[in-house]
Amino acid sequence: MVGSSHEAMHRIFQKDPALLTRALQQVLHIPFPEPHDFAAMNIDLTEIEPIERRVDTLLRAETDEGTYLLVVESQGKPDERKRGSWPYYLSYLYEKYRCEPVLIVVTQNSATARWAAEPIHLGVRGCPSLTVRPFVLGPDNVPVIAKASEAERDVPLAVLSAMTHGRGRQAPAILESLAAALRTIDRDSAAVFVQFVDSCLADTQARKMWRDMMTAIQYFWRHPLAEEVREEGREEGRAEALAEVTLRILRVRDIDVPDDVRARVEACTDLAQLIRWSERAVHATSAADLFTAD
């Protein structure tokens, strides 16, 4: 079970390694060759004595141009110790495997992304003996995927979008689009992606909205978070959850909800109707827009 944002931000690439190379190619515009095979590797870089060193995720990518080692580091905040650790990781891996190492840092924080992207120079100032240039994926370059059609075209990238952008006014559209896309893939993969997103949603309202969505469409059926939700299989429980999702989307988007609108939504027991209202809430400009097409 993924228990933290740190874990989710790098383990998504263990779940779908191809997402990592697509991100390099499409988000960072790095001319990385197309891999035809991936393999997970031992993340332990500890030597015999005495300091333990581990990377977050380490993948081997086989391409027509050779073998690459993809080092993925999940970074929550700046940590100056990494200025020494990251060059060590790359040098150690190259010496051990004689393959080209590539460092990718993943973060949810713009300031951390800017810090991580700074080149690491070791040696004489202005003429370093070693320079490390991390590739960084974060909220400033990972695309915002807020349309269901876009999310369905690339579900793992939509998951990464939700993990890096799942806060503020854009959160409802991102999460709603991803929820729709998850219906198009196998349930086991969907359950894993649900957990990754849940672990990364720092905003309390966004996380509550996400859990309500997933409960309503029964994606907690084999999910560890299911233990936190009671009576999810009941029809009335699903209706209540969908009603709360609809109203929460409006609140997160700072749209005023009059008492009569709230009463109508909360009184509804038609799941199909509630789903339509929740979808309209993502793009509504006023609470009354929920009912304009009824």
Predicted confidence (pLDDT) per residue in 127-155, tens digit: 898 999 999 999 999 999 999 999 999 99
150-208 pLDDT, tens digit each: 999 999 999 999 999 877 678 889 999 999 899 888 887 888 888 888 888 878 888 88
Question: Which residues in the chain come in under a pLDDT of 70?
Answer: 1-3, 45-53, 168, 216-237, 293-294
The answer to whether the predicted template modeling score (pTM) of the entire model surpasses 0.75 is no
66, 35 Cβ separation under 8 angstroms: no
Closest CA to 217 of 174, 185, 249, 182: 182
**123-143 as b/e: b if 16+ CB within 10 A:** eeeeeeeeebebbbbbbebbb
Tell me what pLDDT residue 217 has: 63
What's the whole-number average pLDDT of the chain? Answer: 83
Tell me what pLDDT residue 236 has: 57
Tell me what pLDDT residue 3 has: 52
Closest CA to 78 of 51, 115, 123, 41: 115
Tell me what pLDDT residue 231 has: 44
Tell me what pLDDT residue 95 has: 92
Q: How far apart are CA 160 and CA 154, in angstroms?
A: 10
